[in-house]
């Protein structure tokens, strides 16, 4: 089980890595980190700077919404990669993440996959260990058969 700090560091260390696995603690600590971050921005935006006219949104809330959009954009790649690695830990293909594109039910199904415990068979998704031998180079004179 990872500590919150170690989990968040692990997500950002593996920012764009789809190979490997992410334990439940890493996934859920990162999800909590994002939720707290967004809640703080919304609360700060709700404090309000000045008094808006009747029916208008406070300027600070508009700024908060912009900040949340930028944070969402910046956290999109690590969010997807940690989700794919979480699916790998449950011995599922990372391609199942695309189920989230199905409205309502797809997001629920992918969330249920993230709740499932780790499976030892998920080790098949780990990165191949470096054996020290170089990968053979492609030879253009070779023909495909």
Q: Is the pLDDT of residue 136 over 70?
A: no
- Could you list the residue range(s) of the whole structural domain that residue 57 is in? 4-125
Q: How many structural domains does the chain have? A: 1
Separation between Cα atoms, residue 7 and residue 1, nearest integer Å: 9
Domain presence at residue 135? no
Q: In which band, very low, low, confident or very high, does the pLDDT at 126 lie, cut at 50, 70 and 90?
A: confident
Read off the pTM: 0.78
Domain presence at residue 108? yes
- Evaluate whether 33 touches 8 at the Cβ level (below 8 Å): yes
pLDDT, one tens digit per residue, over 29-70 is 999 999 999 999 988 887 766 666 777 777 778 888 899 999
Domain presence at residue 140? no
């Amino acid at each position: 089980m990872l500590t919150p700090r170690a989990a968040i560091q692990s997500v950002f260390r593996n920012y764009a890595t789809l190979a490997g696995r992410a334990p439940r603690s890493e996934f859920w600590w990162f999800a909590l980190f994002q939720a707290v971050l967004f809640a703080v921005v919304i609360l700060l935006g709700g404090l309000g700077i000045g008094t808006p006219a009747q029916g208008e949104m406070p300027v600070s809330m508009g700024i908060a919404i912009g900040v949340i959009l930028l944070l969402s954009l910046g956290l999109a790649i690590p969010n997807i990669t940690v989700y794919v690695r979480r699916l790998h830990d449950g011995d599922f293909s990372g391609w199942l993440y695309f189920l989230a594109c199905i409205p309502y039910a797809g997001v629920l199904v992918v969330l249920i996959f993230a709740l499932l415990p780790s499976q030892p068979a998920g080790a098949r998704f780990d990165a191949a260990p470096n054996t020290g031998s170089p990968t053979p180079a492609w030879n253009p004179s070779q023909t495909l058969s």
